[in-house]
Chain A
Amino acid sequence: MGILLNIIYLIATVTFVVGLKMLGHPETAKKGNLIAAAGMGLAIVGTIFVHEQQVSPIIYILIGAAILIGSIIGWLIAIKVEMTKMPELVSLFNGFGGASAALIGLVEYGKNVNNATQSTTIVSGIIIGAITFSGSLIAWGKLNGSLKSVVRIPYYNIINNITIIGIIIFAAFMVATGVDSQLVLYALLATGLIYGILFVLPIGGADMPVVISLLNSLTGIAAAITGILYNNMVMLVGGILVGSAGIILTVAMCKAMNRTLGSVIFGAFGGAAATAGENKALGSIKSTTASDAAIMMNYANNVVIVPGYGLAVAQAQHVIHELEELLTKRGVNVKYAIHPVAGRMPGHMNVLLAESNVEYNMLVEMEDINPQFSNTDIVLVVGANDVVNPAAHNNPASPIYGMPILDVENAKHIIVNKRSMNAGYAGIENELFYNTKTSMLFGDAKAALTDLVAEMKKIQ
């Protein structure tokens, strides 16, 4: 490898660190992303054109074709996807990266069977790549609804343990014996894929963001391992950066949901949730109409809007902005209360509201808004459920007990827009809806808010 390529890799590595750093500040984030992308482009171009060995033109054509195909598909998916579909898209892309790492391992294995260090890295690359690939696809399926949120497999523990033992046996066999057996190689790949499925399948849908972040981190580690194999610094450092950053991000997400990483992976959130507090008479609910709600809000001083994923699903982020502008024009003090895990991922709600031009400084984070609820006349909850469930404070039996929530029950009046009385994403009953201060405004978020805006305009 020539010195020129090494310098290119060095520059690319620096852009990764700088880019990741800049991604952490709202003002520099966009530039940081572009810098990292430019570095990645440089590393790719350098790898293709700057090397010493002779390469047949047909291989260049194949590489060019592969890059062209991947770029076009990736670009089209990226610009077409709706912002509400973001989490599952990240999961899907992440799975592709893992698959790529596993495929590299498959090709390289045969050439390196006699070298224990090399075959150890290859075997680890295949295992981690396979787990991230199948795990990410399951997470993708759960988020886009094609898979059920919670899946119970009979004899799960036994199957899981057999799979783990299988992985260890195949891996140890390959490294220790140095036998170039395609059969064992593909058996290892298969057990890795099965383990990825088993790993994600029992985890509840509400915990998927944590899982995606964790799998993302694993893809980084797979890339780093491949970097060790090729003694390639840009892969090594880039992979490790993503690996360690991903772990920190995963822990930050867990903290926001008051969960530990262990309880996400080993405890079944959804399983406990299904039985908790079900069939319990919680009192009666009170429903309201758009015109009543409009009058109440029109004459309030302070209104706080709590947006949840239901808002995003109904594509109501533009209507809510219209409502908020209208209220502000009438002298009502309006704010948005953003729970850290509103939407499907931390920060997801901010992205969605920013898309509909909501002012940045109207979005107030949980710690800052909670003390203000007692001075709030009306809280409008749109498509949020678990993040405003008081069970997190007062029901130790609830699976969300201890999770930080928005204390909307402290407000003078609460209007909840919901499609029906179905439980939230985590499958837990919410006693807030039965509170005497609460009125329910049933209906699809977009339709209900459009009515609300229309009624508001009638009031002069």
Chain B
Amino acid sequence: MNEFLEFIENNLQITYILILAIFVGVEVIKSIPAVLHTPLMSGANALSGVVIVGAILVMLHADPTDYIALSLGFVAVVLGVLNVVGGFAVTDRMLQMFKRKK
């Protein structure tokens, strides 16, 4: 418990951002028409690929001779990019079908 309070005190800014971001996420998603649930889920899935930034940081911080870190980081970057590029591309494909016709 003490450590938990200590963490909050040391990371007050992060704690605030974290809690406010939860509310932003909820508000942004509220009252979405069911039609858009699938593209939205796909788009959100692409966004969760933001973990790629961490994977790139792993590689940037790695010692060029630390092969384990480099290869794990390499795989992490490949998988992260797959998530991001595939996710956005497939969402775009889905949304292309919502063209308005007169």
Point out residues on A near B: beta carbons under 8 Å: 16-17, 19-21, 23-27, 29-30, 32-34, 36-37, 40, 43-44, 47-48, 51, 53, 55-56, 58-59, 62-63, 65-67, 69-71, 73-75, 77-79, 81, 83, 86-87, 89-90, 93-94, 96-97, 99-101, 103-104, 106-108, 116-117, 212-213, 216, 219-220, 222-224, 226-246, 248-249, 252-253, 256, 338, 340, 345-348, 350-351, 354-355, 357, 359-360, 363, 365
Contact = CB atoms under 8 A, between A and B. Distances in A.
Interface in B40-74: 40-62, 64, 68-70, 72-74
Contacts of A16: 47, 50
A338 B34 CA distance: 10
Interface string B12-45: 0010011001111110111111111111111111
A86 B34 CA distance: 16
A245 B31 CA distance: 11
Contacts of A228: 11, 14, 18
A243 B77 CA distance: 21
A49 to B, nearest CB: 10
A40 B36 contact: no
Interface residues of B, number: 82
Contacts of A44: 52-53, 56, 84
B43 to A, nearest CB: 5
Contacts of A62: 59, 70, 74
B54 A104 contact: yes
Given A347-B38, A354-B98, A47 B57 contact: yes
Contacts of B87: 74, 78, 90, 93
B42 A71 contact: no
Nearest to A85: B90
A351 B97 contact: yes
A132 B3 CA distance: 27
Nearest to B69: A107
27 contacts: A26-B35, A29-B36, A33-B91, A43-B53, A55-B60, A59-B60, A59-B64, A65-B74, A74-B82, A74-B85, A78-B86, A79-B89, A93-B87, A94-B45, A97-B49, A99-B76, A100-B79, A117-B7, A216-B41, A226-B54, A228-B18, A229-B54, A238-B48, A243-B25, A355-B97, A363-B35, A365-B34
Interface centre among A23, A51, A89 (most CB of B within 10 A): A23
B51 A86 contact: no
Contact of A70 (B33, B80, B96): B80
Given A36-B43, A40-B88, A117-B7, 11 more contacts: A62-B59, A70-B77, A79-B93, A83-B93, A97-B48, A117-B10, A229-B54, A240-B22, A244-B21, A347-B37, A347-B39
A241 B88 contact: no
A106 to B, nearest CB: 6
Nearest to A67: B81
Nearest to A212: B41
Contact of A59 (B18, B59, B94): B59
B36 A347 contact: yes
Given A32-B43, A33-B91, A241-B21, A66 B74 contact: yes
Contacts of B78: 66, 69-70, 73
A76 B101 CA distance: 29
A246 B40 CA distance: 9
A105 to B, nearest CB: 9
A36 B85 CA distance: 12
Given A34-B92, A242-B25, A248-B25, A51 B60 contact: yes
A90 B51 contact: no
A188 B34 CA distance: 38
Contacts of A227: 54
B57 A230 contact: yes
Given A29-B98, A346-B38, A351-B94, A40 B86 contact: no
A51 B3 CA distance: 32
A66 B52 CA distance: 11
B73 A37 contact: no
A363 B36 CA distance: 13
From B47, B83, B98, name the one whose CB has the most chain A CB atoms within 10 angstroms.
B47
Which among B7, B82, B98, B100 has the highest number of chain A CB atoms within 10 Å?
B82
B33 A104 contact: no
Contacts of A19: 43, 47
Contact of B58 (A104, A234, A246): A104
